[in-house]
């Protein structure tokens, strides 16, 4: 009898303890690239149906993610690689690039910064392809790439999506915006709520909440 009771206790605990990687509070796990993570958090607060656990990384990182959010090129790779549910993807936003420079300076353009030889910190990864092309077009730039949001915001000079811009002066640049999409993860533990979140992100209300993170 004691052994039977112990077995019952083990089985009950196994049912109560969530699988590895699944938050104990029932929140949805969202994997986001750096460019969209701050905006996903802002949209999640506005959605309010259930809390979000937003983690930053590559959209090809293995895991039981409920929702994937990132640049169009990254999400396409996730869909083609079997990491996201086909036809669950929606477009959310186009995030413009800006040149972040110190307040009070007299720099007026990206080409001026490139020609000055000052180090420019730029977002790393496939989302920054067009930004790197722009830097190459304007000359031979001193570039340092990083996906760390804190480093991007604190850099004296940075070419970043508006969602990752720090305090200071932000100049418009001739770089195509980053298209951000979302989709349901292929192994989503909460597939129905994950689909509901993706639909919300693609709605007018969701897009407005998403964009609030980069409002001037």
| Residue range 160-196, pLDDT digits in tens | 999 999 888 889 999 999 999 999 999 999 999 999 9
**Which phi and psi (to 5°) does residue 174 adopt?**
-90, 70
For the chain, domains (ranges, CATH) are 20-94+178-214 (3.40.190.10), 97-172 (3.40.190)
Contacts 24+ apart (CB under 8 A), 80-84: 82/186, 83/59, 83/185, 83/186, 84/59, 84/183, 84/184, 84/185, 84/186
What's the pLDDT score for residue 115? 83
> Exposure of 4 by Cβ count < 10 A (0-12 exposed, 13-18 middle, 19+ buried)?
exposed
Token pair of 174 as six digits: 């001739």
Please write the tens of the pLDDT for every residue from 77-98.
999 999 999 999 999 999 999 9
pLDDT of residue 82: 95
């Amino acid at each position: 009898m004691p052994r039977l009771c112990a077995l019952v206790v083990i089985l009950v605990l196994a049912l109560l303890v969530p699988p590895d990687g699944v938050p104990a509070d029932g929140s949805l796990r969202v994997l986001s690239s750096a460019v969209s993570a701050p905006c996903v958090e802002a949209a999640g607060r506005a959605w309010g149906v259930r809390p979000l656990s937003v983690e930053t990384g590559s959209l090809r990182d293995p895991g039981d993610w409920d929702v994937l959010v990132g640049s169009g090129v990254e999400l396409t790779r996730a869909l083609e690689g079997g990491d996201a549910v086909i036809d669950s993807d929606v477009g959310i936003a186009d995030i413009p690039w800006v040149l972040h420079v110190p307040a009070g300076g007299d720099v007026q353009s990206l080409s001026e910064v490139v020609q000055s030889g000052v180090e420019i910190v730029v977002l790393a990864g496939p989302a920054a392809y067009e930004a790197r092309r722009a830097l190459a077009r304007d000359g031979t730039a001193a570039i340092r790439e990083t996906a760390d949001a804190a480093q991007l915001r604190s850099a004296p000079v940075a070419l970043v999506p508006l969602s990752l811009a720090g305090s200071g002066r932000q100049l418009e640049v001739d770089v195509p915006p980053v298209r951000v999409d979302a989709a349901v993860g292929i192994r989503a533990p909460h597939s129905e709520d994950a689909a509901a979140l993706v639909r919300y992100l693609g709605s007018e209300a969701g897009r407005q909440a998403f964009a609030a993170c980069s409002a001037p």
